[in-house]
Structure 1
Amino acid sequence: MSEQAWRTWAEQMATGLALVDAQLRLRWLNPALVECLGLAFRHAVGQPLGLLLDDADEGMARAAKVRAEQRPAQWRAVALAAADDRELSADIALQPFGDGLLLEVHVLAEPPSAASPLSATLRGFAHEVKNPLAGLRGAAQLLQRRVEGEDLQALAGMIIAEADRLGALANRLLRHDGAAQLGPVNIHRLLERLADLLLAEPAPPQLHHDYDPSAPDLHGDADRLHQLLLNLARNALEAGARTLTLRTRVEHGVRVGERMLRMALRVDLIDDGAGVPPTLRDTLFQPLVSGRADGSGLGLALAREIAHEHGGELRHASRPGHTVFSLYLPLERTHD
């Protein structure tokens, strides 16, 4: 893809993006980043990268190091220099791009917010799944009418239910605000629903359950959290996992970014697959990054977006034969 074609694509993204040249001057900002920082930044092209950052000197030094070492880096909870003196912070991913750098800016909002903007990854997911859903649902309805036996009809019904869920989710994401549908969520019901889907696979994994019975309901969007868990499980299966453990724990005093959670729910998906390649460990959750030639690179990026949307975080630890993806979600309400 040429840079011009890439820019055309990136102009449509709702995630903030910027290109920086070899002298660490801003070459381009997409509309989402300009809108986030304030319209005064529409004339920022040609200015030093530090213009975007509250601590310009430190930011320039860190960016120079990334460019010199030609290695991607993640900055956590960086203070941004918004035009109207708003206090904004963001997680920033930097990676070499030509002779300069590409910045991907994920603004940290007070989570979860019913008016939070729709991320580019969520929008990409919605566009990707929406078109084939009608055909999938129609085929499942035909099967349900033609097959005999309650088990086969139940499997067809599961396909229809998933198609309906994804269709409704895609429609919500593609609306202007993409607002989450918040309410009480029982994490163990979501995990059992996930287990039903995995056991319907042609070659289902062996599942183990290790639940903390004291885990209370959390406040979130059940469909989006279900999609997050499904993406983690699919990632494990695509890495060759034959055994998957679903584990929950309640933890106290957990740091998520710059925020200390008094009480958090930890959901672990543990698999015995090939593990995360060392070359991908620093960029694993970035959009369009995949360890497979036929991978879209959206699954884990989407999972991270949903975790951030809920005020949570995704972490991973991996070695061949033992990979753990851990989802941390706040259990206290956002006004506490």
Structure 2
Amino acid sequence: MKTSLTSLDGLDLLSSAVIILDDESRVTYANAAAENLLESSFKTLASRKLEELFLNGDGLAEIFREAVEHRFADKRLDLTLERIGREPLQVHVIVTALDNRDMPVLIELRENVQQLKLDREERLLDQSQANKELIRNLAHEIKNPLGGIRGAAQLLEFELPERQLKELREYTQVIIKEADRLQTLVDRLLAPHRRPHIVGDVNIHEVCERVRSLIVAEFPNGLAIKRDYDLSVPEFRGDKEQLIQAVLNITHNAAQALSERIGTGDALLTFQTRVARQVTLAKVRYRLALDLHIIDNGPGIPPEIQDRIFYPLVSGRDGGSGLGLTLAQTFVQQHMGVIECESRPGYTDFRILIPLP
């Protein structure tokens, strides 16, 4: 059977990447999904050998030879394909031997979403652990000299002659107030590691309703809060106050990001609860997990900080401390869970996953 390139146009409708090779392993066809996945146009890919597309393409070259020799009809495997100056591709590969002399091998590449998710969670946990160590060390290093600075300013103010007190007290007060502000910041950084984990039965809808009442009190006009609850979500063991704080931090950030829409009266926040099944968190498989979404219709998180929003002191708005999401992630991770985020203009979704009994 001989296949013309024009008869392959339908492959452009597929979401998976398809590459067809000639008998010398050169690309003769790549669909639109392949161009997107490999971040190269067909014009760039055409006539290049398969093994030239990736730094570790020798393994694919060997599989190609087996396909040409018809040692199998099709072969499936998961691979990490490395590229110069780009992120490695985690893909599920299907290699099919075709009964066609001009185009003997078809390769289908599908991004391995599960592997990507596991890698992302592992990076998040490593980052979180590094953040904790950094925060603890930094906070302790700041805390000690702060007390000395504040005490010295108070002593200086006390020792100032009466004639200079009015003139210079303004400056000593600046030092004292800024030292107090930094002390408060340090206390917030250390708070999750100081406070004991108080475990009890938690109803996630009670947590959401508590947060909702706090947000409504602060933003009484122009902000609608939609509740989309699955009442079958069971109670679980956890620290209710920590979870209230985590959800409140996320929701309060969202409400502040909605300031323009609140002004026009069309701001919307949504609390959505579901039960997720067969969820892997930190390489552990759970049969059931709480799947809580906090969604807003705000401007979205700036793309340049989306990968860093859970880092300490990273904020997307002027005047933000950059601690709210860091603390939220810490509290959720203490419940063996994780917070994920998807954001684009008009839609931001913070997803909290926590194992259920």
What is the TM-score when the length of structure 2 is the normalising length? Answer: 0.47
Larger radius of gyration: 2
- Normalized per residue, the structure richer in helix is 2
Q: Which has the higher contact order (CA 8 A, sep 6+)?
A: 1
